[in-house]
Amino acid sequence: MYITGLANNCASVIYSVAMLTMESEKSKSRILKEARRIIKKGGHYGIYELLLVPRDLTDDQKRGIQRELAKSMKVNARPRMSGGV
């Protein structure tokens, strides 16, 4: 089942602004697969997301940052870790 209902290879450009930050890992994967499905060959995907750096943050530090973001944004923010997509 397609998320957008759009045809395959129909978009030249896709923009995403901090949308993945608010999604679970499973939802992030579905969204990215959908973007890949609808974008035309040679198309562009402009994406702006939150990313935690440096890579050596402890799990406690990551959880603390996630909690503070969720509290201030009023959503369960899940920023990406550096080095991952």
**Regarding beta strands 39-48 and 51-52, do their DSSP bridges make them parallel or antiparallel, or are they unpaired?**
unpaired
Q: Residue 85 — very low, low, confident or very high, per pLDDT cuts 50/70/90?
A: very low
The pLDDT score that the predictor gives to residue 12 is: 97
Q: How far apart are the C-alpha atoms of 54 and 6, rounded to whole Å?
A: 37
State the Cα angle at 35 between 4 and 49, rounded to 5°. 110
- Looking at residue 2, its pLDDT comes to 67
CA 61 to chain centre: 20
Tens of pLDDT, residue by residue over 2-48, are 689 999 999 999 998 878 888 888 888 999 999 999 999 999 999 88
End-to-end CA, the chain: 23
Higher-pLDDT residue of 78 and 39 is 39
Q: For the chain, what are the domain ranges?
A: 11-81
